[in-house]
């Protein structure tokens, strides 16, 4: 059985305030996307990787990341669509048709651990649809449009969803095709699977698996890299 990964790296980085797309910014001398690909490249149970980026960035991604670092599992670099959902679907269509399990991952989450990737794959064999995440540490307030608190949900039941989000390939493809058929767009892949009756299993991961979105995240990312280097 084949396990594939779709890495979505088509963002523009508006919240980063940079003219360079955030996935191509440097962290300690190496582009964020290169770290992300490496996480899956070195995970033994991953068979192939599809990268989805901007159409105008495909050649750059191939030359400056895939070829430069010699990643062997990258099957192709394809272009994204208008929305993230369009980009994921393009990536899913590029995977081998005998793929059993697919992991969908944000290109700007460069610190996912191999053991957590493996854990999500194992969970899919039992649950079919899984999301890596962490339990909420802070108290959450639900507020109205004026910022007045309405409710304080039980923190013990709240999770922060991360990626990878992992699915049986046929299951997520079917859900995506149904979503496009009715013009539905979800905020993440699990939401699309949920809409069509699938139960989602949360798999506990690591708080290091941050999404680099704002300038502050660059400093946190560099600190994680230095900490890991010192621990080696």
Please write the tens of the pLDDT for every residue from 60-95.
999 999 999 999 999 999 998 999 999 999 999 999
CA distance 127 to 121: 10
The most confident of 18-22, 102-106, 226-230, by mean pLDDT: 102-106
Q: Provide the pLDDT for residue 21.
A: 85
- Residue among 65, 66, 76 at smallest CA distance from 5: 76
- Residue among 69, 105, 110, 108 at smallest CA distance from 224: 110
Query: What mean pLDDT is reported for the chain?
Result: 95
What are 140-190's pLDDT values in tens digits?
Answer: 999 999 999 999 999 999 999 999 999 999 999 999 999 999 999 999 999
- Res. 108 pLDDT band, cuts 50 70 90: very high
- Res. 15 pLDDT band, cuts 50 70 90: low
**pTM as predicted:** 0.95
Every domain of the chain and the residues it spans: 2-231
Q: Provide the pLDDT for residue 16.
A: 66
Beta carbons of 143 and 212 less than 8 angstroms apart:
no
Query: What does the pLDDT average to over 87-116?
Result: 97
pLDDT above 70 as % of the chain? 97
Q: Does 14 have pLDDT greater than 90?
A: no
- Res. 20 pLDDT band, cuts 50 70 90: confident
- The CATH architecture that domain 2-231 belongs to is Alpha-Beta Complex (3.90)
Q: Give, in order, the Cα–Cα distances in Å from 96 to each of 48, 75, 99, 103.
A: 9, 9, 6, 13
Q: Provide the pLDDT for residue 143.
A: 97
How far is C-alpha 120 from the chain's CA centre? 12
């Amino acid at each position: 059985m084949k396990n594939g990964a779709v890495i979505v790296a088509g963002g523009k980085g508006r919240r980063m305030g940079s003219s360079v797309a955030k996935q191509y910014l440097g962290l300690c001398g190496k582009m964020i996307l290169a770290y992300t690909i490496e996480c899956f490249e070195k995970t033994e149970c991953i068979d192939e990787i599809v990268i989805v980026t901007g159409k105008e960035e495909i050649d750059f991604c191939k030359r400056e990341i895939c070829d430069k670092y010699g990643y062997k599992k990258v099957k192709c670099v394809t272009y994204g669509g208008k929305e993230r959902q369009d980009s994921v679907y393009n990536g899913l269509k590029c995977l081998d048709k005998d793929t059993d399990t697919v992991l969908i991952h944000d290109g700007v989450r460069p610190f996912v651990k191999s053991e957590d990737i493996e854990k999500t794959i194992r969970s899919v064999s039992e649950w079919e649809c899984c999301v890596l995440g962490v339990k909420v540490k802070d108290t959450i307030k639900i507020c109205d449009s004026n910022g007045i608190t309405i409710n304080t949900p039980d923190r013990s039941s709240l999770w922060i969803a991360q990626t990878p989000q992992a699915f049986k390939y046929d299951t997520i493809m079917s859900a995506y095709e149904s979503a496009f058929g009715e013009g539905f767009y979800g905020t993440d892949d699990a939401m699309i699977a949920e809409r069509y009756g699938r139960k989602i299993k949360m798999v506990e991961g690591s708080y290091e698996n941050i999404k680099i979105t704002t300038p502050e995240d660059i400093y946190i990312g560099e600190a994680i890299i230095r900490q890991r280097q010192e621990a080696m």
